[in-house]
Amino acid sequence: MAFSIESTVGDLLDNPGPRAVLDKIMPQLATNPQIDMARGMSLKMVAGFSGGRITDALLAEVDAALAKL
């Protein structure tokens, strides 16, 4: 299965490789108290609700790392 910023947050967090990428680049994501509400949304969609904390540059970094898995 290929992962990207279009993958759901739940899929990214529930798989070891993508989870390691998120934990390294966005360590605050998995521990956010609202993460359960975002599990069915893509990471790209969640960025739109992040108040600017998940930037396009951060998304690009995550997407590039996920592509290497």
Give the residue numbers spanning the domain of 62.
9-67
The whole-number mean pLDDT for each consecutive block of 10 residues of the chain, a chain of 69 residues, reads 96 98 96 95 96 96 98
Please report whether residue 37 resides in a domain.
Answer: yes
Query: How many structural domains compose the chain?
Result: 1
pTM here is: 0.93
Please report whether residue 2 resides in a domain.
Answer: no
Please report whether residue 42 resides in a domain.
Answer: yes
pLDDT at res. 62: 98
The 3 state secondary structure assigned to the chain is: CCCCCCCEHHHHHHCHHHHHHHHHHCCCCCCCCCHHHHCCCEHHHHHHCCCCCCCHHHHHHHHHHHHCC
